[in-house]
Structure 1
Amino acid sequence: MTAVCDSCRHVIRNLYSHNMTAVQQALDAEHIDFSRDGRFDTPGHSALYSTYTLMDVKSSLIVASQLVKVTETTSSQAMEKEGLIRCRREVEDAGVCIGSLTTDQHIMIAPYMRKEWTELTHYFDLWHIAKNLKKKLCEFASVAANRVVGHWSETIIRHLYHVVVNTEPGNSLTAVKLRPILERKGLIDAVSKAGRLATTELESFHAEINRNAPKMEGFSNSGMLSWFVLKL
């Protein structure tokens, strides 16, 4: 990638700061529902950068974002947690009141939310739960004796969506309704936290960045930040 000149970098960062301040000041709701997603610059578990973003679900506006470098954390997996911590600090400093946060089931995010951000309502993205469930059903049905389960997988997924959409978020009854079908503890725990909001639009935004900043190419810190800001 062509190096970003100092003057361009200065203009881009000023524009970003101005836009983020304007968006944060425009949010006047007492409890705003956010979704979050982390985008890594490379596939697999050897990423150098992670772009972490918070989106207001109602308006689809990006409210906070942080670029984390792996050398600032203990590992590439730890970048998502660090990104969330920084985004939390950014929105709290701006006086934005978060009502709920919808995330995927990242192994470091869930414990952090449970222990360090207890006052916030935390939901798991239903699409990710359904994707994980379908994968496990397919694995189970790959054994000849369990092949019949494969014919029921789509029905089970539809039932999962039906149960979550028609039950109040956070109600343990959601998991109870599915327990006769699935007795896997990890899935049951995830379903009990499933919400009606989603991270879909935010992930689509991160996918747009990939068009200009492909994961198979290396970028500098300023280059990665500039491509992200220009997409806002």
Structure 2
Amino acid sequence: MARTLVADHYQNTSVSEPAEDNQNTSVSEPAEDIHIDQPNNHAMDFEEILKAMKSKTAAIWETGLQRSVEFCKHHNIKTKTLVTDRHVQIKKWVRENMEDTTHAFDVWHVAKGMKKKLFALSKEKDCSDVSPWTKSMVNHLYWTAASSPNLNEDLVLAKWQSISNRILNVHDGHSTLFPSCQHDELEGRERHKRWLKPGSKVYEKLQDIINSKQMTKDIPMLSSGQQTSELEGFHSVDNHFASKMIGFSFHGMLSRQWLAAMHFNENSNRDHAYTQDGKARYRIVYAKYKKGEHTNM
């Protein structure tokens, strides 16, 4: 195991997420755990762990988090908020060992899991009507988190469950905490999707997803601010220095992690690019996994 501090800036928020467990090497198979400092957007610490030390991937993730937390404590760094994916073992460890830290879930990971379930449902017989609603439900999930900055868990859950009425063209009478929708009356192209019918097969199956035990537990923990998007950016940089297609020794992987961290910290807060006319410049990418959707870069 190796440890390094790669940033000297810190506020009070940490974003952590286990790296992919297939970041393998031919000899030692190290995995990593990275902490991103927000809003400075710097990688503070990463942990290199020999996979041979832990037989299960979940154990590697938990060990990496433990070591990073100890690293922060050693440097008198207090973690006010910890944003992770919704791994059960990590959730349990944070609950038992970080009582003074608010643990929140990254919205993108929750939305990703829900999209998979909605896509699978749309392939079932008589359930294709859910397909046009997939993007709207993902947007509703993001809005649920973003519009609830104080982490009022009951209100967050009430907002999310209101989608059960909205897809039926019912926009009031949702619940005591969230009685009605906040949007204006829908007109024209805003109503181009077909409303679902109560009692139909697709609606009942959709209800099972919306009100599932997992979603009921995870929705109130959604982060309204900090997300793990910067960490995903670091993983992209990491792949340039340590490709998953090539095996490295432990020290070979470690040196590449150092380079990736320094490169990320040096360039993470660069000024936005502008055209000669003074307009912000963007690059639109249509990634294959987006299935026709685009990403602004």
C-alpha contact 1:37 1:203 (8 A) present in aligned 2: no
User: Which residue is equivalent to 2:192?
Assistant: none
Over residues 1-60 of structure 1, what are the superposed CA-to-partner deviations in whole Å (9 max), with x where a residue is unaligned?
Answer: xxxxxxxxxxxx9xx85x64x61xx43x4xx1111122246269xx92211110112000
Q: Confirm or deny that 1:50 pairs with 2:31.
A: yes
Match of 2:144 among 159, 163, 186: 163
User: Which residue is equivalent to 2:19?
Assistant: 39
Structure label with greater radius of gyration: 2
- Structure 1 spans left out of the alignment, 5+ residues: 1-12
Over residues 159-189 of structure 1, what are the superposed CA-to-partner deviations in whole Å (9 max), with x where a residue is unaligned?
Answer: 1111211113432211122224311111221
- Cα distance in structure 1, aligned partners of 2:253 and 2:76: 28
User: Which residue is equivalent to 1:186?
Assistant: 214
* TM-score, normalised with respect to structure 1: 0.83
User: Which residue is equivalent to 1:227?
Assistant: 256
Q: Confirm or deny that 1:67 pairs with 2:48.
A: yes
The percent identity for this pair of structures is 25
C-alpha contact 1:63 1:91 (8 A) present in aligned 2: no
User: Which residue is equivalent to 2:178?
Assistant: none
- Cα distance in structure 1, aligned partners of 2:45 and 2:139: 33
C-alpha contact 2:15 2:36 (8 A) present in aligned 1: yes
C-alpha contact 2:241 2:259 (8 A) present in aligned 1: no
C-alpha contact 2:15 2:83 (8 A) present in aligned 1: yes
Q: Structure 1 residue 97: deviation in Å?
A: 1.1
Instruction: Give SS of 2:93's match.
Output: helix
Q: For residues 1-232 of structure 1, what are the structure 2 equivalents within 5 Å?
A: 17=4, 20=6, 23=8, 26-27=9-10, 29=11, 32-40=12-20, 42=22, 48-172=29-153, 173-180=155-162, 181=164, 182-195=210-223, 196-232=225-261
Higher helix fraction: Structure 1 or Structure 2? Answer: 1
C-alpha contact 1:41 1:215 (8 A) present in aligned 2: no
Instruction: Give SS of 1:188's match.
Output: helix
- Aligned partner letter, 1:219: F
Instruction: Give SS of 1:143's match.
Output: coil
Over residues 185-224 of structure 1, what are the superposed CA-to-partner deviations in whole Å (9 max), with x where a residue is unaligned?
Answer: 1122111100021101111111211122111221111011
What is the number of residues matched between the two proteins?
209
